[in-house]
Amino acid sequence: MRVRDLKNQLNLMIPEFKVNDQMTAVAHWLNKIHMSPKGEYITSSEKEIKTLEKLKGLKLVDFEGSGEIKVKLSETGKKLHTDFQAHGYFNK
């Protein structure tokens, strides 16, 4: 998935004025997971798990279980993270 594809997908799901904020949030999470030790983010926070479930619905991350989960980027998430880097999202 590329940044443009994600933006188009979000435009179908949420009001247009919220898309840029959501793009920034997705970029934040993908980078947070990517930068975690071994590329694996561990959390038991219900709030974080709800957010990560949304990313899983977009096929950007993989995890199973409940309680404490270990989250990794999916292949799609890795490609999107690379595209976010190319677009300078992490330089802001």
Q: Which two tokens stand for residue 38?
A: 């071994």
Whether 85 has a pLDDT exceeding 60, the answer reads yes
Q: Which domain holds residue 16?
A: 3-91
DSSP characters over 23-66: HHHHHHHHHHHHHSGGGEEEE--HHHHHHHHHHHHTTSEE---S
Could you tell me the pTM of the whole model?
0.88
Q: How confident is the model at residue 69 (pLDDT cuts 50, 70, 90)?
A: very high
pLDDT of residue 91: 60
Residue located via tokens 């920034």: 24
Would you tell me how many other CB atoms lie within 10 Å of the CB of residue 33? Answer: 22
When divided into structural domains, the chain yields a total of 1
Tell me the mean pLDDT in the region 5-25.
93
Whether 92 has a pLDDT exceeding 60, the answer reads no
